[in-house]
Amino acid sequence: MHIRRNVRQSRSRQRVPARTARAGGVLLAAAALLVSACSTGSSTSSASSGAGAALAALPQATPSTLAAYYGQKPGWRSCGVPGFECATIKAPLDYADPSAGDVRLAVARKKATGPGKRLGSLLVNPGGPGGSAIGYLQAYAGIGYPADVRARYDMVAVDPRGVARSEPVECLGGRDMDTYTQTDATPDDAKETTRLVDAYRKFAEGCGADAPKLLRHVSTVETARDMDIVRAALGDPKLNYVGASYGTFLGATYAGLFPGRVGRMVLDGAMDPALPARRLNLDQTAGFETAFQSFAKDCVQQTDCPLGSKGTKPAEVGKHLKAFFEKLDAHPIPTGDADGRKLGEALATTGVIAAMYDEGSWAQLREALTSAMKHNDGAGLLVLSDSYYERDAEGRYTNLMFANAAVNCLDLPAAFSTPHQVRGALPAFEKASPVFGEGLAWASLNCAYWPVRATGEPHRIEAKGAAPIVVVGTTRDPATPYRWAQSLSRQLSSARLLTYEGDGHTAYGRGSTCIDSTINTYLLRGTPPAERKRCS
């Protein structure tokens, strides 16, 4: 399995289609969900303990070396999707040396439809890192956001540097990626450990060979600075923004760098920038366990639950699932896949984790588990896993997992440097999640072999002087635990915490009238929610 951080689902309470983009690329691609790079990092530091210096704001005046970038005017053109326009905007590859070359950023928009006075542009980002903001805009936000919001704002998306249409990082071809996603991420002996390490090395070497220069300049700080260039090119004095999952880290970083340019900002499914990689990974492991407990309680109430029946305790449900994973580790089962892939422990675990992002996928998961456990048919879980990795029926992958690792491995020092360190941490991870802990611990190792040293460190973000920022947390969010939203809201000087008491990853647009009306009021009128407002 491979773990990426988190990506907002581009739909609301629907069955998982042949593609999704969620949290840690589950096990192997661990860089995503987790955060990684090359030192151990404390497992106990947190924002509440005051760990890390605060992100410093940049000078308000635009440096002369960046004047040409800030003076760009987008050349909008049709981009193949009715109602949407596209453009390309340049940003410096290296903000410390703008003469070193450019990065070309893909931008898309859908203009405000009216009626009502236009409120400017509203940038959206679904997370990842590595999720395509343009894909999200065209498939969901630009047509699925509330009509009142789309009437008043130009809906805009920018694929971050290294992602999708913006000079994408590539690491492995489809066949090699298939092998990578099937690598055993719960090694039982030295031979299996070596095989896992080799997989991480091959993945990292592929990324380094593809984009040796760009790989040093795909950090969240650089992407946040790119957003300010885009803001200026759009002609907006302030940035209006809705970011989900990792998109909250990106948005909070923008606020920390440019507090005076923050307009109306919503950070949904918040991350905590003050945590080191190991603590982020451990917290997220516990988050998936919380989500699984909710699934288990619901599953045993259903007539088609293959993991237990009414009266079965969630802990027993977990033991049954863990035993099934161990069985697959020894004896993978057929899937009917045209490329001959079988369902082993790695792909099965990824499939289960994919369904934890949205309780609307629980019925699909029960059906997939029933087919696998009772009929020796792994096709259903393979569909869930493929959707998570964004693999299509022809065996092609988007660059989600590649960009995810590239950003994560640059943003934070790695959770672990050696397999020995992982083994030492296994008890803590397995305590956090008896079902997923072992795999998620090993998934945290991948950035140890990254070809570029991390440039970021854990830090607080205060954004002093920013306009009110709405931070949204879901109490049983698997990928961004609620405590992260609480921590970020304490860090940001102007934050208002909006709580959704429920399941699933993120809250806006997922069925809560209370959440949606509160955020819509803020976006349209600028009125933030009351202090400590809670919705269900």
DSSP 238-271: SEEEEEETHHHHHHHHHHHH-GGGEEEEEEES--
Residue 365: phi and psi, rounded to 5, are -65, -45
- CB-CB contact of 352 with 384 (8 Å): yes
Question: How far apart, in whole angstroms, are the C-alpha atoms of residue 239 and residue 225?
Answer: 12
Residue 7: phi and psi, rounded to 5, are -135, 130
Question: How far apart, in whole angstroms, are the C-alpha atoms of residue 365 and residue 295?
Answer: 10
Residue 211: its pLDDT value, please?
84
Name the pTM for this structure. Answer: 0.92
Question: How far apart, in whole angstroms, are the C-alpha atoms of residue 297 and residue 256?
Answer: 41
Question: How far apart, in whole angstroms, are the C-alpha atoms of residue 204 and residue 172?
Answer: 9
Residue 99: its pLDDT value, please?
95
Residue 51: its pLDDT value, please?
55
Residue 210: its pLDDT value, please?
85
What is the rounded (10 degree) CA torsion for 332, 334, 340, 344?
-30
394-419 b/e (C-beta count within 10 Å ≥ 16 → b) = ebebbbbbbbbbbbbbbbbbbbbbeb
Residue 24: its pLDDT value, please?
34
pLDDT per 10-residue tile (average), the chain, 536 residues: 46 30 35 30 36 88 97 95 97 97 98 95 97 96 96 98 97 97 97 98 94 95 98 98 98 98 98 97 96 97 96 95 97 97 98 96 98 98 97 97 97 98 98 97 96 96 98 97 98 98 96 97 97 94
Question: How far apart, in whole angstroms, are the C-alpha atoms of residue 283 and residue 17?
Answer: 28
* Strand arrangement, sheet containing 469-476: 77-78, 85-92, 102-110, 153-158, 120-125, 239-244, 262-268, 469-476, 495-503, 533-535
- CB-CB contact of 479 with 453 (8 Å): no
3-state secondary structure of 391: strand
Catalytic annotation, residues:
245, 477, 505
- CB-CB contact of 515 with 472 (8 Å): yes
Residue 319: its pLDDT value, please?
97
Question: What are 76's two structure tokens?
Answer: 């909008």
Residue 152: its pLDDT value, please?
98
Question: How far apart, in whole angstroms, are the C-alpha atoms of residue 290 and residue 248?
Answer: 21
